Amino acid sequence: MPELPEVETVRRGLQPALEGQTLKSVILRRPNLRIPFPKDFAKRLSGVKVERLGRRAKYLLMHMISGDIAIIHLGMSGHMTVLEGDIPEPGKHDHVDFCTANGVTVRFCDPRRFGLMTLTTEEEMENHKLIKNIGPDPLGNGFNADVLAAALEGRGSPIKAALLDQKNVSGLGNIYVSESLFRSGISPKRLAKTVQGARAEKLTRAIRDVLNEAIAAGGSSLKDHVAPDGELGYFQHNFNVYGKEGEPCPTCSTAKIKKIVQSGRSTFYCSNCQR
Ligand SMILES: [Zn+2]
């Protein structure tokens, strides 16, 4: 499942293809993904210039100069491909094409159809049901140690669960929460309310660093990725703890990485380095 760095990588990969370009047509090959497309989805986007591509948590936001905004979520398996020249025939799971006036097609393929696309406007976006409860973006100006500490104050849940709660901080999933907690030396089992002061500072920095490194890795794989098939968004990272159960801890090397299940989700950590 794509987390914030993957979505940000897709956004950056799509920027040159879409920003400042007019959409000649939008082709929908089925009535719905996870939810139905708005009736006028293709009509409201066709013939309109894309002003910019934004992102809120894991939602891509295509801001049109008309004031409309397409909200796009990649779901579990959705991916975007930038196609130029001879555009291949769509495959079975190629549900949407965004075709620009200068001959580029951005194709959305989603075998499991957990993705979604819908519309809002600049005026209504902040109150849109998908957007309004999203907490601060960990890479944005609205996120810092004080904001995180305030969100965690009084919380009796483990820090792992509190970081997955999108109201506290947005866009983090299982992978980057495990990696951020490892980086900051904080046990995933620690009560969220005890992450204050210097500990909140350390965690905030770790979250930012882990995400920025992943985005940088995505950016470098992007170059390799776009060349052969134009597909964006999925790449391999070198994780410290995620998926490394039983391997020696890269920091202390005396302990082995443990895997535990918290609220139904796997957590990977070092019980020696993380307290
Ligand atoms: Zn360790």
Residue-wise pLDDT for 148-159, tens only, equals 999 999 999 999
Give the pLDDT confidence of 46-59 residue by residue, as tens digits. Answer: 999 999 999 999 99
Identify the CATH homologous superfamily for domain 4-127.
MutM-like, N-terminal (3.20.190.10)
253 Cα to the center of ligand 1, angstroms: 6
Residues 135, 165, 121, 97, CA torsion sign: positive
Active site members: 2-3, 58, 265
Predicted local confidence at residue 19, as pLDDT = 97
CA–CA gap between residue 201 and residue 218 (Å, rounded): 26
CA 46 / ligand 1 centre spacing (Å): 54
Average pLDDT over the chain, rounded to whole? 92
Band of pLDDT at residue 217, cut at 50, 70 and 90: confident
Beta bridge partners of 158: 191
> Which one has a higher pLDDT value, 221 or 135?
135
- The rounded Å distance from CA 180 to ligand 1 centre is 14
Domain boundaries, the chain: 4-127, 145-269
pLDDT tens across 42-90, in order? 999 999 999 999 999 999 999 999 999 999 999 887 889 999 999 999 9
Q: Determine the distance separating the centroid of ligand 1 and the alpha carbon of 197, expressed in angstroms.
A: 23
Sign of CA pseudo-dihedral 175, 177, 182, 183: positive
CB 148 within 8 A of CB 204: yes
Tell me the C-alpha distance between 135 and 126, whole Å. 12
> If you measure from the C-alpha of residue 43 to the centroid of ligand 1, how many angstroms do you get, rounded to a whole number?
55
Q: How far apart are the CA of 247 and the centre of ligand 1, in A?
A: 10
Nearest to 151 by CA among 109, 207, 94, 97: 207
Q: What is the mean predicted confidence (pLDDT) over 20-24?
A: 98
Average pLDDT estimate for 22-37: 98
Judge whether 63 and 52 are in contact, CB under 8 Å: yes
Distance 236 CA to ligand 1 centre (A): 23
Least confident span in 164-168, 202-206, 211-215: 211-215
Q: How confident is the model at residue 258 (pLDDT cuts 50, 70, 90)?
A: very high
pTM (2 decimals)? 0.87
SS3 readout for 84-151: CCCCCCCCCCEEEEEEECCCCEEEEECCCCCCEEEEEECCCHHHCCCCCCCCCCCCCCCCCHHHHHHH
Write the CATH number of the domain with boundaries 145-269.
1.10.8.50
